[in-house]
Chains A and B, each alone.
Chain A
């Protein structure tokens, strides 16, 4: 079975500071990793994904994530946080093989960027 852990329920960061939202995963086979963001009363918006290739993935709104196979992590990062980045962030994983369409999500991390 595959799983995702987002160890922090909430992350607070000052505007202009770098931010990191942590994610670790467990799958059998090669992982496909995704980050989504959810604003209040909205659906999930796709930010970025890792399939293969470069470990550093760049996505929407200046976000990036680094795939670390040895640590089974896929942390989301941004060099300079904006107040508008405040939202709920979800990490998700799927893998090769049967049922590969089934995304498993973490419980989410609430990011608050303080002006």
Chain B
């Protein structure tokens, strides 16, 4: 079956512009996660959605970052007034059950470059 998809695969933007990154989880998966992977670093948790529950936003690095998940499926991560330090690969994952130990399945990521 189809895996997690993300778009765009690459995004180049100018400092100060807003960007939107999209994630389409595996059909039927109720849990959705966003991570950020910076060069030479591991993955940094950003936000978690589970069904209709309030999302866990504890990993968002600043109030310029926000995310929503419409209809319990597609999610959009928005970065306002982008900064050069926002340059990274943004990865989305989904799982069929909430919480550990369910396996998270990852999309290919969106590589964001802020000039």
Contacts and interface: CB of A to CB of B under 8 A. Distances in A.
Partners in one complex: yes
Interface of A: 4, 32, 34, 36, 41-46, 49, 51, 90, 92, 94-96, 99-108
Nearest to A51: B101
Contact of A44 (B41, B91, B101): B91
Given A36-B106, A43-B4, A106-B42, 10 more contacts: A32-B100, A43-B108, A46-B105, A100-B101, A101-B31, A101-B95, A103-B45, A104-B45, A105-B43, A108-B42
A99 B56 contact: yes
Interface string B76-114: 000000000000000101010011111111111100000
Interface in B36-54: 40-43, 45, 48, 50
Contact of A43 (B31, B56, B98, B106): B106
Contacts, number: 66
Interface residues of B, number: 29
B33 interface: yes
A96 B100 contact: yes
B42 A90 contact: yes
